[in-house]
Amino acid sequence: MACNGLHKYFLKQYYGHRIVSEFLIGFMMGNIPSLSNKENRHLDVTLGFIAQVGMLGYVFVLGLEMEPSKLIFQVPAQEYMVSCMSIVSQALLGFMVSRYTDLLQDTQLLEVGHLQPPSPAQMMALSITMAGTSSPVLTRLITNLKIGNSDIGKFVVAAASQSDFLCTAVFCIISIFDKKDKAVILAKVAFLSIQIAITSQIGPVILNWVNSENPEGKDMKGPHLVLFLAFVCLLCVMTTSVGYSPLMSVFITGLCLPRHGRMSRMMIGRVNYMMMHIFYPVFFIWLGLLTNYKRFEPHRRLWSLFQLLFLCVLGPAGKVMGAVISGLFLGIHWQDSASIGLLLALKGYFHLYIIGTSIADKHMFVSTGLMIILSCVFTLLYSPFVIKSIISRAKKQAPNQNMALQFLDPSAQLKLMLCIIKPQNVAAAINLMHISRGLAQQDIGVYLIDMVESTGDTRVEEGVVRDTIAKEVTACRIDDRIDIKNKMVVSTLNTMPNDICELAENLGVSLIVLPFHRVQMPDGKLDETHSGYYLVNKKILKNAPCSVGILVDRGLGMIEQISTSSVVVKAAVIFIGGRDDREALIYSSRVAQNPGVSLTVIRFLVDTSMDDIASVRAGKRVNVQQKEEEMRQDDESFANFYEKHIARGGRVSYVEKYLVNSAETLSTLQALARQYELIIVGKGGGLNSVLTIGMRDWEQCPELGPIGDILSSTHFSQAGSVLIIQQHDQKGGIAGLDDDFSIMG
């Protein structure tokens, strides 16, 4: 519980890995006097045994998740070269560290048996451990920070997997030669060869049979599960009986088994769950007991601080050096190479376990072991910031980082894409085009897109409809200052969203306006004639390269002409807060400058005297830091609008509504519905506000958002058009950047 709390409320917001919180809690518990006193001197031995058993499950899953055929024969040459160079350079430095710790051992401690000099095989194993990369931890970090689909993210994941595989494979080979007896070495080689042959040939047969007998959707049969586990245990016991490392034996078994299939997925999921909730807490308490400060050698405490600084620099230095050198041959920019090297230095549970066993077996000082562990934790602390720097550099290099109206230069030309399905959409689209123009002298480019469903059997009927639309466009009086171009998109409903998004990206438009899929009938109700376009609008909202608006036409198309001298349209924009509401406000700043529009800005504010009660009643936990940043942006955006259009005596009216909950929001919207010909709202307006809580529970059209759905409902009102705006947000959740960005090329 302490680990979860520390990680969730402190480290997670800085993208810190769970290992850091687990180590801190484990170290503190290991230094509790009641656990570390002499009466519990065998506790660390017991916990060490549990840690070893848990680590057997960890390395088994590690091997099971790897595919040797791909890691050996299908790894791209660049990733392979970078991983190998970083391993070699770091292994050499790691070997120097292991020799360095050996030379610093106290001769008197060696004589009385307090320390045992490490063998060359153990020193090499330690150096390989320092050269390794924890691919599961690094992959999880890259996925959480949403760069897994970028070129550098894919590169790092592939190089990390290759590095983890090679280092563990070398560790397996070193484990054969940890004894100098030739007979033992030959026995290990023979039994290991038999284990690999049986596991790789018979293992898949048994595993596939178990999977076929236990299809998805049915409970796993107990005898089959026991049979598989017995087979795995038998294979592992075969080599451990001659003195081979149990960890490496289990790893090789997992490596030779196929990773696909129900049984493999179940083993990976169950073992990972058990590790997280049972093993990892015990493991870090064991590490805390081993590194208890009372066990520190008094004459080495000051020296340990220098040792820590040395290791924190030396650890990533070898990886960076290897990555930069290989990057010079491969044509990779040195900044990208350095970032790759820093990330490949990331350590995980297996590396910490090896250091812990070295301390337990008295091959190094307690202080030295703790400094190495802290240097491993240091790689976990800086890695998120390395990824943040990659994202920052990618944003600077990315063209057209954000196509939202909020980031559009006010003096630049506004490019609109107005989509039309049926002839009755034309008049409303033309009037919206005039409203969006602002001042007569402002430059605006409009692409009128005729969306034609390609079905193959309605060509004649569609041809008549298209001619009708063309006549409607010609009949509408269009200002000469408006640059309007007609285009047609002929697609099936499945491919139309992609075609619209691709066209919008090529044209560089800032706002796509889609007609609502339901059309108002003479009796005021909305029909379902164009229900197929519901999914079209939904997919465009998800994948559009710019901001998107959905126009619910309930009378806007009936206005004959938008005057440039007198007010014809009464419009309102509702502002609660959030990125979509800010986008709606920016769009309204252009509408406010149109002489034919009388605009009223209505801001919904939370009654501060009742805010706490409403928040408690909502029972919704909100990230305080994120909420404060959102409020800051809302206030800044609204202040700019107020200063430009209201404070200077403009024609824009301003109204504030202090509300307590969503019930008051609903009644206020009902009172506003019939007062305006057009209401502009943000799709996600007030999404995390107490003023909209519960509104999503009865949404009929989620693509309109809570406020837009209520205003568009015929049960609520049958008058007044509604324009719902969604601000452009890049795929993957990285603000200002697509998740498949490229930075290395």
Residue 720, CA distances (Å) to 239, 551, 571, 588 in order: 79, 11, 9, 17
* Residue 366 and residue 428 in one domain: no
* Residue 196 and residue 343 in one domain: yes
Taking the CB of residue 106, how many other CB atoms lie within 10 A of it? 14
* Residue 466 and residue 344 in one domain: no
User: CA–CA separation, 734 vs 732, rounded Å?
Assistant: 6
- Establish if 399 belongs to a structural domain: no
Tell the burial category of 208 from Cβ atoms under 10 Å away from its Cβ (0-12, 13-18, 19+).
middle
- Establish if 323 belongs to a structural domain: yes
Query: Total structural domains in the chain?
Result: 2
For 629, the 3-state DSSP assignment is: helix
For 91, the 3-state DSSP assignment is: helix
For 531, the 3-state DSSP assignment is: coil
* Residue 520 and residue 648 in one domain: yes
* Residue 418 and residue 328 in one domain: no
Three-state secondary structure of 174-231 = HHHCCCCCHHHHHHHHHHHHHHHHHHHHCHHHHHHHHHHHCCCCCCCCHHHHHHHHHH
Identify whether the C-beta of residue 437 lies closer than 8 Å to the C-beta of residue 569. Answer: no
Query: What letter would DSSP give residue 673?
Result: G
C-alpha 714 chain-centroid distance: 39
Identify whether the C-beta of residue 700 lies closer than 8 Å to the C-beta of residue 709. Answer: yes
Identify whether the C-beta of residue 102 lies closer than 8 Å to the C-beta of residue 123. Answer: yes
* Residue 208 and residue 275 in one domain: yes
Identify whether the C-beta of residue 583 lies closer than 8 Å to the C-beta of residue 544. Answer: no
Q: Assign residue 613 the CATH number of its domain.
A: 3.40.50.12370
User: CA–CA separation, 727 vs 735, rounded Å?
Assistant: 12
User: CA–CA separation, 598 vs 508, rounded Å?
Assistant: 30
Identify whether the C-beta of residue 361 lies closer than 8 Å to the C-beta of residue 94. Answer: no
* Residue 191 and residue 215 in one domain: yes
Give the domain range for residue 588. Answer: 405-726
β-partners of residue 512 are: 417, 548
* Residue 496 and residue 530 in one domain: yes
Q: Which of 420, 403, 581, 404 is nearest to 514 (CA)?
A: 420
pLDDT of residue 417: 92
* Residue 409 and residue 276 in one domain: no
Half-sphere exposure of 365 (CA within 13 A, CB side): 23
β-partners of residue 414 are: 444
- Establish if 545 belongs to a structural domain: yes
Last residue of a domain, which of 393, 414, 441? 393
**Tokens representing residue 560 in the block:** 């004959």
Taking the CB of residue 595, how many other CB atoms lie within 10 A of it? 16
- Establish if 734 belongs to a structural domain: no
pLDDT of residue 517: 83
Give average pLDDT by consecutive 10-residue segment, the chain, 745 residues: 52 62 79 65 79 88 85 78 88 64 44 52 66 88 85 90 88 82 88 89 87 80 84 84 88 87 84 84 85 67 74 84 90 90 90 85 78 86 89 74 72 85 83 79 80 66 56 57 79 89 88 86 67 86 90 82 71 91 90 87 82 45 68 88 82 88 85 85 74 77 87 75 86 60 76
CA 344-345-348 angle, 5° bins: 100
* Residue 233 and residue 353 in one domain: yes
Q: Assign residue 273 the CATH number of its domain.
A: 1.20.1530
- Establish if 743 belongs to a structural domain: no
Identify whether the C-beta of residue 269 lies closer than 8 Å to the C-beta of residue 339. Answer: no
* Residue 36 and residue 127 in one domain: yes
